[in-house]
A and B are shown apart, each in its own frame.
Chain A
Amino acid sequence: MLLDENKSQSGSQGWQPKIIAFFCNWCTYTAADLAGVSRIKHAPNARVIRVMCSGRVDPQFILDSFAKGADGVLVGGCHPGDCHYQEGNYKCLRRFQLFKRVVESFGINKDRLRLEWISASEGDKVRLVINDMVAKVKALGPLSLPKKFSEWDKEMNIIEEKIAGKEEAVHA
C-alpha cells in the first residue's frame, strides 16, 4: 500500500503544495519573524503552527496533517544544546527518527517530512529550508490523502456491499 503514489499528475496543474510547519517559539518561530523583519523573501507555501518547544510536536500532529491534506510537514526547533527547555529538541529528535521510518513505511516519501534546527538568528535559513522543501515537494506532486482515503472508502463500500449481497444470496 503506497500512499505516495501519483499515478497521474493530472489535476495538479497550477497546484501549490501546502506545508504545515511546527515551529518552536524560541528559536525557529523567532527566526521566521527575523526573516520578516529582514524582508527575506521565500516561498509562500508554509503555514506555521507555533508550539512552545519542538518537544511538544506529537507524531500524531504529523499524521493528522498528512491525513487531512498537507503535502509536507516541517518541524523546526532550536539547535542541539540550545533548547529553551534544555532538551526538548532531543526528545523531539528521538521521536522523529523513529517516526520518520514509520511514515516512510506507509509509503510517504521522506522528502515530505523534515526536521530542521533553526536558531533565532538564522532568518536566512528559514528561507533556504522552506524554499528547498517546497521545491522537493513540488517535484513529488500532491499527496492528497483525503481524496485517496475517500476513494478507498468508496472501494470498501462497494466490496462490503458485494459481500453483503452474497451473504443475502446465501441466506435466501
Chain B
Amino acid sequence: MSKTTGNTRTGFYICHCGTNIAGTVDVEKVVDYVSKLPNVVVAKHYKYMCSDPGQEMIQKDIRDQNLNRLVVAACSPFLHERTFRNVASQAGLNQFFFQMVNTREQNAWVHLDALASTEKAIDLARSAIFRVAFHKPLEQKKVPIHPGVLVVGGGIAGIHASLTLANAGKKVFLVEREPTIGGHMAMFDKTFPTLDCAACILTPKMSSVKNHPNITMWTYSEIESVDGYVGNFKVNVKKKPRYIIEDLCVGCLDCIDACVYKEPRFFDEFNQGLSKRKPVYIPFPQATPQLVVIDPETCIDFKSNKCKKTCVDVCERKAIDLNQQPEHKEIEVGTIIVATGFKPFDASGVPYYGYGVYPNVYTALEVERLINASGPTSGEVVMRDGSRPEKIAIIHCVGSRDKNTNLWCSRVCCLYSLKLAHLLKEHTHADIYNFYIDIRTPGKMMEEFYYRMAEEGTKFIRGRVADIYPDLTDEVHRRLIVKAEDTLISEIIKVPVDMVVLSTGLEPRADANDVRRMFNITCSTEGFFIERHPKLAPVNTFTDGIFLAGCCQGPKDIPDTVAQAGAAAAEALALIDSGFIELEPNTAFVVEVDCSGCKSCVPLCPYSAISYQEDKKKAYINEALCKGCGTCVASCPSGSIKQNLFEDEEIYSEIDGILNYTNIYEVSECC
C-alpha cells in the first residue's frame, strides 16, 4: 500500500459542542494526542466549531498554514458534513479533502465512561486522519431537476401542498387512492379550535385542486412503482376502473336513482357504515371529482352478469362502461411529497369498551358523521337504537398513551373530544362526562378553547375507564355503566350513560411499510415516516427529493398539517428553482487495465448501470445510472472497480487508524 500522494498537511478540529462532547470526551487530551500524529499540522479544540468564529478559525488555518486536508470531530455527518465541506471549499480546498468524525451522537451521547469515550474519540480521530490522506479531489455532478412534482395522498396535507406548488407555476400530479380527495377532514363537521365548518374551509380548496390548470388529479389511483432519484423520478400510476368514463360523466347522479337496488344496502365507507349506499354511488355530496363510482364487489352485474343494467340505460351521455380496464400512466417528476395521512385506532382493540358489542358505543369519527348536517342523520344525534342520548360519556386516549395499545399521545384527541363535547351538547343538551388521563391542549388558542368548553358545563373526570357494561338494573333506560377510578378523589365511580364516544388515537396507515419501501424512506418502529432531522429538517426524508407532510409523519392537527405541507412544498420549490442538483460523487468506476472481463459484476447491479464492452472485453459503469452502493466494488475479484469516497485505500486506512496499525506508515515514512 502506498502512502499518500504529495505533502499531506492536515488540520484537526474537535468541537466541544458546549458540554455535549466536552462533558464526556477529554477534548484537550484528544488534541494533544492528535497533534503528534504524522501529517497533522494543526490540532485545535473549540467551543462551537459550526459557529461563525469556529468556521472562520478553520478557514484562516487552511489559508495561513497551507492545509490540504481537514478533519472535524463534532456531531454526526448527517448534521454538519455539508457545513464543513463548505468551510473547506470557501477556503479554496476541494470539499472532499474533508472527513468528519462522529463524536457526539455515536460517542459522547452514548457513553458514560469518560476515559473509554476519550479513547474512542482518539481512535476515530486517528482513523479519519489516516483516511483523509487518501482522499482525492472530486467534482459533484450537476443534474437538471425535472420541474414536475408528485403528491401522494389528497387529504388536507396533499391538497395544500399541491395548491402551493401549482400556484407557483409547477406541474403537480396528485394521486389519491379513494374516489375523492379530502381525506379525514372532509368527514368532520366543525374543527377546533375555531369551530369553523370543515366543509366551508375545505371544499373550496378541493375544487381549486380540481380546476387548477397545473394540477393533474388522479383519484381512485395507486402508485405502482417509483424509479430513479432526486430530480428524475419515474413513477407508474395505476388508475383503477371506476366503470365511469370520466370525461362524459357530469355528476347528475341519475344512475344512482336508476340502480336496480331501490334502497341503498351496502356499507357506506364515508359515513363509517352509519348509513348505506348502493353499488353505484358518490362518496359524499361535495366529493371531488364529482364522479360516481361503481363498486364491483357489490354490483350484481359483476357478480352474476345478470343485471338489467338500468344505470347504463338511464345515462344519456353513455358514461357508464362496465368493461373498463385499469389504466397505467407513466410520469416523470423531480420531487415527491408523501402525504398519506393516518388511520384511526381500531376501537375494538380495547375489548372492555364494548365497541361493536354495545350499539351505543361510538368512535369519535362516527360521531363526526352523526353531528354533520350532511351526514347520515342530517345532523340529528339519533343513535343506532333510534333513541336520543341524555347522558354521554366521552373517553379520551383510546389506543393512545397505553403500553397495551400505542404508547404515543395522539395530540388531537383531547381537543377533538372537547369539540365533540361542545357539539354534542349543542345538538342534544345532554349531560356530558369527559373521562381523561391528562388534558393536553398545547398550541395557539387551544388552552383558551379548553376553558371555553369547560365553562359550558361539561363534566371532567380524571381517570382511565376500566370497564363499560350494560346497566341491568334499569330496564327503562337500558343504559351503559362507565366504570373508572376518579383519581382526584381516589374513588371508583360508576356513571350510567346513554351513549359512549371513544376518542380513538391516530395510527400509521396499515400499508405504511409498503409505501415506505416504494419510496425508499424510513419508518419509526410505530410506522410513522421519519424525517431527516426532527428539528432542522422536519419535512425532508433521508432520500433526497422526497418530502413528508401531514399525519403520515406523526399525529398532528390541521394547522400543523397545513404548515408542514407548505414547508414540504417550499422545500420542493427550492430544489426545482435551483434548476439542478449536485449529486454525491460516490459513484463507482472501472479501472480498465485491471479489469479481467469476468462479468461477475454485471448482474449484481440493481440499476443495470454495468455493461460489458464486447470490443474491449471490459466492464463499463454508466455513471448516470450508478447510485453508489458499492456492491460491485466489494465483489470484483480483480479489485478493478473503485468507488469514489469509499475507495479501498480509504477504508483500509480507516481500519489501520482505528487499530493504530502503523507498520506500513513507518515503512513508507522512510521511503
Contacts and interface: CB of A to CB of B under 8 A. Distances in A.
B105 A68 contact: no
Given A36-B105, A122-B525, A47 B120 contact: yes
Contacts of A18: 123, 658-659
Interface string A38-60: 01111011011111110111111
Interface string A54-77: 011111110011001110000000
A88 interface: yes
Nearest to B100: A50
Nearest to A53: B629
A41 B111 contact: yes
A109 interface: no
Interface string B83-112: 000000000000000000010111101111
Given A41-B111, A47-B123, A51-B651, A65 B659 contact: yes
Interface string B57-87: 0000000000000000000111000000000
A65 B109 CA distance: 26
Interface in B635-671: 635, 643, 646, 648, 651-652, 654-656, 658-661
A47 B124 contact: yes
A112 to B, nearest CB: 14
Contacts of A39: 109-110
Contact of B112 (A35, A41, A47, A61): A41
A113 interface: no
Contact of B627 (A20, A32, A82, A85): A85
Given A42-B110, A52-B586, A58-B648, A30 B629 contact: no
B634 interface: yes
Contacts of B643: 52, 56
B111 A44 contact: yes
A106 B604 CA distance: 28
A37 interface: yes
B522 A44 contact: no
A85 B104 CA distance: 28
A120 B631 contact: no
B583 to A, nearest CB: 13
B580 interface: no
Interface string B401-441: 00000000000000000000000000000000000000000
A98 to B, nearest CB: 12
B116 A88 contact: no
A56 B630 contact: yes
A16 interface: yes
B659 A44 contact: no
A84 interface: yes
A120 B526 CA distance: 12
B81 to A, nearest CB: 10
Interface in A90-140: 91-92, 95, 119-122, 127
Interface string B462-474: 0000000000000
Contact of A27 (B522, B630, B655): B522
B36 interface: no
A56 B110 contact: no
Residue among A36, A44, A70 having the largest count of chain B Cβ atoms under 10 Å: A44
A46 B606 CA distance: 31
A65 B658 CA distance: 9
A5 interface: no
Nearest to B124: A47
B617 interface: no
Given A65-B655, A121-B525, A87 B517 contact: no
Contacts of A32: 105-106
A86 B104 contact: no
Interface in A1-35: 16, 18, 20, 26-27, 30, 32-33, 35
Contacts of B656: 68
A165 interface: no
B98 to A, nearest CB: 14
B105 A33 contact: yes
Contacts of B106: 32-33, 35-36, 48
Contact of A53 (B104, B534, B607, B630): B630
Nearest to A127: B110
A58 B630 CA distance: 9
B127 interface: yes
For chain A, the bracket of interface size reads 35 or more
Contacts of B522: 26-27, 30, 119-121
A28 B542 CA distance: 13
Given A33-B105, A36-B104, A47-B127, A87 B659 contact: no
Interface string B331-347: 00000000000000000
A50 to B, nearest CB: 8
Nearest to A19: B658
A56 B633 contact: yes
A163 to B, nearest CB: 26
Residue among B112, B525, B634 having the largest count of chain A Cβ atoms under 10 Å: B634
Contact of A20 (B102, B120, B542, B658): B658
A33 to B, nearest CB: 4
B524 interface: yes
B312 interface: no
A37 B107 CA distance: 11
Contact of A56 (B116, B530, B634, B655): B634
B520 interface: yes
A15 to B, nearest CB: 12
Contact of B658 (A40, A47, A60, A86): A47
B463 to A, nearest CB: 31
A95 B525 contact: no
A37 B659 contact: no
B124 A120 contact: no
Nearest to B627: A85
B574 to A, nearest CB: 23
B486 to A, nearest CB: 35
B661 A87 contact: no
A20 B656 CA distance: 11
Given A16-B116, A61-B655, A70-B659, A121 B517 contact: no
A159 B524 CA distance: 60
Contacts of B78: 30, 33
Contacts of A95: 634-635
A95 B534 CA distance: 36
A44 B604 contact: no
A85 B629 contact: yes
B117 interface: yes
A128 to B, nearest CB: 13
A62 to B, nearest CB: 10
B493 interface: no
A82 B643 CA distance: 22
B655 A52 contact: no
5 contacts: A42-B111, A49-B658, A51-B651, A61-B652, A88-B629
Given A58-B651, A68-B661, 17 more contacts: A18-B123, A26-B542, A33-B105, A36-B104, A36-B106, A48-B102, A49-B655, A51-B646, A53-B631, A58-B633, A70-B655, A84-B543, A85-B606, A85-B627, A120-B542, A121-B522, A122-B525
Q: Top 4 nearest A-B pairs by Cβ distance? A: A36-B105, A56-B630, A55-B631, A85-B629
Interface of A: 16, 18, 20, 26-27, 30, 32-33, 35-37, 39-42, 44-45, 47-53, 55-61, 64-65, 68-70, 81-88, 91-92, 95, 119-122, 127, 146
